[in-house]
């Protein structure tokens, strides 16, 4: 089991792929607050609610000087279909490469379900300060009310 990132840790600068095929790195957000929300899979019930909630609050995050970026291992084309299906406005990135950001942070890890062991994404949200250091960590996130809680923390930072 990997160790999750801690408050004060520097965020690794690892590239991910956006739905249009371009890449984004965490350093692209320096000098601005960033919310990275890691979720298991596009178009599943909890992940859809989480993405819709962050999208609904995108304007408020922007007003708080905070960028949003949803991250999963789904390929860019799947992200694009997911965005279009639900009119999502929170940007999504594909972290499909082995050794990617979720691997480096210990968020892509061994999970167990009904006695089966597999690798999967632990629903985790990071609030990163403008200095590129982690200011807050939410792990094993429960979706209901989560986006609002993260917004309040971003506004207070």
Query: What pLDDT score does 120 carry?
Result: 87
CA distances, 153 to each of 54, 114, 146, 157 (Å): 14, 35, 11, 6
Number of other CB atoms surrounding residue 73 within 10 Å: 22
Q: Is 75 domain-assigned?
A: yes
Look up the pTM and report it.
Answer: 0.93
Could you tell me if 86 and 48 are in contact, meaning their C-beta atoms sit under 8 angstroms apart? yes
Q: According to the model, what pLDDT value does residue 157 have?
A: 94
The residues carrying an active-site annotation are 47
Residue 113: predicted pLDDT: 82
C-alpha count within 13 angstroms, C-beta hemisphere, residue 98: 1
Predicted confidence at residue 99, as pLDDT, reads 85
Q: What is the CATH number of the domain that holds 104?
A: 3.40.30.10
Q: Is residue 147 part of a domain?
A: yes
**Beta strand ranges found along 18-62 (DSSP E):** 23-24, 33-38
pLDDT recorded at residue 1: 42
The total number of structural domains that make up the chain = 1
Hunting for tokens 């962050």 — which residue is that?
Answer: 54
Residue 3 resides in a domain: no
- Asked whether 123 and 40 are in contact (CB, 8 A), the reply is yes
pLDDT of the residue at 118: 84
Q: DSSP code of 78? A: H
Q: Which range marks the domain in which residue 92 is found?
A: 29-156
Q: What is residue 54's predicted lDDT score, i.e. its pLDDT? A: 98
pLDDT tens digits for range 63-76: 999 999 999 999 99
Q: Answer whether residue 87 is part of any domain.
A: yes
Mean pLDDT by 10 residues, the chain (157 residues): 80 95 94 96 95 98 97 96 97 90 91 87 95 94 96 97
User: For residue 114, with 0-12 CB atoms within 10 Å meaning exposed, 13-18 middle and 19 or more buried, which class applies?
Assistant: exposed
């Amino acid at each position: 089991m990997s160790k999750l990132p801690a408050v004060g840790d520097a965020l690794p600068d690892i590239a991910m792929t956006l739905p249009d095929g371009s890449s984004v790195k965490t350093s692209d957000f320096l000098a601005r607050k960033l919310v990275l929300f890691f979720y298991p899979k596009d178009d599943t019930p909890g992940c859809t609610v989480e993405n819709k909630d962050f999208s609904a609050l995108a304007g408020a995050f922007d007003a708080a000087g905070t960028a949003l970026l949803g991250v999963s291992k789904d390929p860019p084309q799947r992200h694009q279909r997911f965005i279009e299906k639900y009119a999502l406005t929170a940007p999504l990135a594909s972290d499909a490469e082995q050794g990617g950001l979720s691997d480096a942070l210990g968020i892509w890890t061994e999970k167990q379900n009904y006695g089966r062991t597999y690798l999967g994404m632990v629903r985790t949200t990071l609030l990163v300060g403008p200095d590129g250091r982690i200011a807050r960590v939410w792990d094993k996130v429960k979706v209901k009310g989560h986006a609002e809680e993260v917004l309040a923390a971003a506004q207070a930072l």
